[in-house]
Structure 1
Amino acid sequence: MERSTEFLSNIDMIVGPRGHRRWPDAVKAQIVAETLVEGASVCAVAQRYDMRANHLSEWRRMAREGKLVLPAVPEGPSFAALVVRDDVETAPEPAPPPLDLICGSVHVRLVATTSAARIAEIVRALNAPS
């Protein structure tokens, strides 16, 4: 696989004494933008630049948080802010259907929130000998 590092020769990338590279923000943004192209994967883009995928994922997080400005992507995905609101009213839950007890000719309709103990009492009373 061909590596896309030829453009890196003209930038001010700093290699530290232990071999750590420091990437300018413009280069970081360009590499992150490549991960946003449909069908691209973070791992594949990281391999092209001879870097670790988790490092690239960290740059993507920075871009989502607005700490890294990406170049304009003509037709592709972009990050959108997520707004969570708790002042929005939700529709009330519909009332559960009533509970019908039928014993012979006796029909008893109970609300669905009737306790099991109360239902048992009513059933015993309906089945009690007259």
Structure 2
Amino acid sequence: MKARIVAETLVKGITVNAIAARHGLRPTRISDWRRKAREGKLVLPADKNAVFAPVKLAVPAIAAPTPPVPVTTIDLLKGDVTIRLAGDTPAARIAEIVAAL
């Protein structure tokens, strides 16, 4: 019965207050049931008027990979000290140098 009442509130132009008055319930009770339905805790009856539209999936265009922007140098700064490294310095090596600073 709860699910049927909730289903009635899903009709366009129908308000929760109108359905609550028709069934002699408080609107908050029906709103609570609607929340449970959204959370999957209350299963609604199937809508006999539901129409399914066919779905067509488009094949996504494969984008060419963008080449990385070349970095010519990496500057590590600590106080007055600047350490300039080549842009292709491995991340592990950079981490070692930063840890040593």
With the length of structure 2 as denominator, give the TM-score of the two structures: 0.47
With the length of structure 1 as denominator, give the TM-score of the two structures: 0.37
- Which has more radius of gyration? 1
